[in-house]
Amino acid sequence: MKNFLVHTDEVKKEMLENIGVSSIEDLFAEIPEQARMSGLALDDAISELECQRRIKALAKKNKTDYVSFLGAGCYNKFIPAAIQQVAQRFEFLTAYTPYQPEIAQGTLQIMYEFQTMICRLTGMDVANATVYDAATACAEAILMAVRIQKCKRVLVSDDLNPEYNRVIKTYAHANGIEIEWFDSVIPENTEDYACVLIQTPDFYGEIREIAPVNTLLIVCTDVSTLSMLKPPSEYGADIVVGDVQTLGLPMSFGGPHAGFMACREKYMRQLPGRLAGRTVDAEGQQAFTLTIQTREQHIKREKATSNICSNQALMGLCANLYLSLMGEKGFKQAGYLSAKMAHTLSEKLADFKGIKTLNKNFFNEFVILVEDADEFLKKLKRAGVIGGLKLDKNRILVAATEMITDADIDLYLDNI
């Protein structure tokens, strides 16, 4: 039990002597003074009861009853109540890491079923058991393509989510990869590049027509749109990535969510992250285990496909539960309602002078052009509506999901 107690002054002194410094402050000597925090302005300690009261008082200042038309990669979707009840069971929240399959069969089965569902939705042959988020998935897919093609030049769409682009730039810089950006039209000559990465629907909601390419095609997509749109496998995708936030995960101020990666079978040994496989044990019973070990913790570092050393299994469980509870019919209905509400709002906005929809072909998200984006959004917010994401002084990105009603649309229109 002593290992869980706070270190005494004597123990601290002994530790400092062993590493050759005289004080804890010496450990931070290399950090410039201007970069250090001088301290935290914390109040004196209070009781647990007093703390609860103070937190509740602060929480009441939050306004959570807005009608939201926000999107841009994070969406307000319907979440069946059973998801939280099941996902919060202690068997899942405290599940053992799946290195030892004999005591982690439940976790491994969740991962395997998640992979299966992603493959069915995307049309790909193999999927991993999640990565951190869609941005990570995009960057890892580029590294994967570079390994396969042995080429360090890549083409990336300008219309990709800006957050994903920033992560890609960081990965590329660290790995000496040259990125060339293109607009909505893929260049004709792509054979000199390791891959082409394009998002559809893109950050602005536009569904992209993707022409054949002479290299690896990476498609970033929102899996919920695949309830109605054809899977990326049907238009030549080699690697498909995205986020599963729309599958039963709350917006949660941006996370945690989970990214996914799926690919054609011939590339599966270059797929990073964890992969769960199904087999039979010595008694012929179904069994699950981690397979095709590509992670740096399992094999020689120089042969690893990635330094990603974890995954979002609990988020993957929520996605499994969502798809199971909604079923194929419910999943398609949610997608249909999202698209229907977005197109209804877009069509009605066309009747207002000074407002124009810039998209030609969209699913449930579109860009509007207004005279003053700040004033437009302020008026809506005063009426209890978050009208979308401001892109610049004249453009707003608007999204609708199945959570939006006809009354919500009327409220939007009545206050612009």
Of the ranges 25-39, 266-280, 289-303, which is most confident?
266-280
Q: How many whole angstroms separate alpha carbon 366 and alpha carbon 397? A: 6
Answer whether 373's CB lies under 8 Å from 393's CB.
yes
> What pLDDT is attached to residue 104?
87
Mean pLDDT of the chain: 92
Looking at residue 384, its amino acid is G
Q: 81-320 belongs to which CATH class?
A: alpha beta
pLDDT one-digit tens code per residue, 128-157: 999 999 999 999 999 999 999 999 999 999
> What pLDDT is attached to residue 301?
61
pLDDT one-digit tens code per residue, 44-91: 899 999 999 999 999 999 888 899 999 999 999 999 999 999 999 888
Question: Dmax of the chain from CA atoms?
Answer: 76
Q: Give me the residue spans of the domains in the chain.
A: 67-79+327-414, 81-320
Q: What percent of the chain has pLDDT over 70?
A: 96
Q: Comparing C-alpha atoms, which of 353, 367, 352 is closest to residue 69?
A: 367
Which of the four pLDDT bands, split at 50, 70 and 90, describes residue 101? confident
Which is more confident, 31 or 94?
31
* C-alpha dist (Å) from residue 246 to 50, 54, 73, 131: 37, 33, 9, 16
pLDDT one-digit tens code per residue, 372-415: 999 999 999 999 999 999 999 999 999 999 999 999 999 999 99
> What pLDDT is attached to residue 249?
96
> What pLDDT is attached to residue 75?
97
Q: Comparing C-alpha atoms, which of 142, 164, 161 is closest to residue 153?
A: 142
Helices (H) and strands (E) in the chain, counts: 10, 15
Which of the four pLDDT bands, split at 50, 70 and 90, describes residue 295? low
Question: Between the CA atoms of 229, 230, 231 and 237, what dihedral angle is there, to the nearest 10 degrees?
Answer: -110
What angle, 0 to 180 degrees and rounded to 10, lies between the N-to-C axes of helices 134-149 and 162-175?
Answer: 40
Say if residue 343's pLDDT is above 90: yes
- Which residues, in sequence order, are bridge partners of residue 366? 398
> What pLDDT is attached to residue 2?
57
* C-alpha dist (Å) from residue 125 to 263, 300, 378: 6, 26, 47
Alpha helices in 20-64 (DSSP H): 48-59
Answer whether 214's CB lies under 8 Å from 192's CB.
no
> What pLDDT is attached to residue 200?
97
Of the ranges 273-282, 311-320, 365-374, which is most confident?
365-374
> What pLDDT is attached to residue 175?
94
Query: Who's near 388: CB < 8 A, 6+ residues apart?
Result: 69, 70, 71, 368, 377, 396, 397, 398, 399
Q: How many whole angstroms separate alpha carbon 164 and alpha carbon 158? A: 11
Which is more confident, 254 or 120?
120
pLDDT one-digit tens code per residue, 165-213: 999 999 999 999 999 999 878 998 999 999 999 999 999 999 998 989 9
10-16 long-range contacts, CB within 8 A, separation 24+: none
Say if residue 298's pLDDT is above 80: no
Q: Comparing C-alpha atoms, which of 140, 191, 188 is closest to residue 164?
A: 140
Of the ranges 11-20, 34-43, 193-202, which is most confident?
193-202
Determine the CATH number of domain 67-79+327-414: 3.90.1150.10
Looking at residue 243, its amino acid is D
Query: Who's near 147: CB < 8 A, 6+ residues apart?
Result: 270, 305
For 332, the 3-state DSSP assignment is helix
> What pLDDT is attached to residue 236?
95
Beta carbons within 10 angstroms of residue 19's beta carbon: 8
Beta carbons within 10 angstroms of residue 94's beta carbon: 7
The residue written with tokens 């690919």 in the block is 263
